[in-house]
Structure 1
């Protein structure tokens, strides 16, 4: 049994001052860096996902064409190659083995919806690496962390969410997301 770390969307547009910044985003970036420095050797593989939306079009309705509703559509964010799409500077990515880009022409909430730079699916890389367990950290608890953790459970992985290393858009919705992950069979632990 091998454990991996999923670092979900710790990008400039999701941290304070970004297009969809969440409170605590920068602290999550720094905390994940500390986790990797102190416990990186506990992970057989480290994955980092990032929204990497197309600059043209609405990305399958993900970008609002008018006023965003902040539920099903959003302001423009994390456009591929933009400063907002880059990982936050407090996140040290030197330990990342595989980068997963998601949301090209689509919503892309889950890390499972993305691909590696070589075009491989996450499933392919997980299988090749023999991963059976994952720890999940990142942004935002009530959207991409939630969907990624639930998808990992659906794919038969044992899932732990490190609660001290996630931050929600909405604190109440973040609590609901963590409860939903627990109800689905995941474990929420302090980081």
Structure 2
């Protein structure tokens, strides 16, 4: 068994004070840092590879309608401008220790993007290519936001034939109701929803 950790979009714009900040985002960042330290120490949650994604949107267009530019955002398919490539909002949250990240993935470059699988690594590989190359069989998913990018990443990992766990105390969502529904959906699809006990 080779296990990967997916860290989904723990970025300044998705945490408190950001353009699309979710409540609890900073706590999630700190908890993931504790998780990575526990992994390095050989804890029950240990990983052979750590993959982190970031939205990395174009700043000169609406990214395929993802940015609401001509009408107010509906917060379903269109959103305020966020995570523009090279801006502070697109940076990882400072509470997240990225020194243990093996593969950095950027997604949403000119188009709507939710799943980590829609991105490419700095080396130009798709996430599926990385998983296949490294023989990853199992995936744990943490990050932001539960009801959007975490949900999509977990479902795509299941569709790619991996065993998936979502660490429920290391995710935070846009809204409570849709976050609960997202966790139920991924569980119904075959994922295991479990607490890491490291949220703080």
TM-score bracket for the superposition, by shorter chain length: over 0.9
Separation in 2, partners of 1:149, 1:169 = 17
Q: Which runs of 4+ in 1 moved over 3 A?
A: none
2:122 aligned with 1:124, yes or no?
A: no
Separation in 1, partners of 2:11, 2:86 = 12
Match of 2:15 in 1: 15
Separation in 1, partners of 2:2, 2:109 = 30
Q: How does 1:38-187 map to 2 (within 5 A)?
A: 38-40=38-40, 41=42, 42-65=46-69, 66-187=71-192
Q: Alignment RMSD, CA only?
A: 0.7
Separation in 1, partners of 2:157, 2:112 = 18
2:33 aligned with 1:28, yes or no?
A: no
Separation in 2, partners of 1:119, 1:108 = 17
Separation in 1, partners of 2:9, 2:187 = 21
Separation in 1, partners of 2:147, 2:30 = 20
Per-residue deviation, 1:118: 1.8
- Count, aligned residues: 191
Per-residue deviation, 1:119: 1.3
Separation in 1, partners of 2:3, 2:37 = 16
Per-residue deviation, 1:38: 1.1
Separation in 2, partners of 1:39, 1:179 = 27
Separation in 1, partners of 2:124, 2:65 = 23
Gaps of 5+ in 1: none
Separation in 1, partners of 2:173, 2:18 = 14
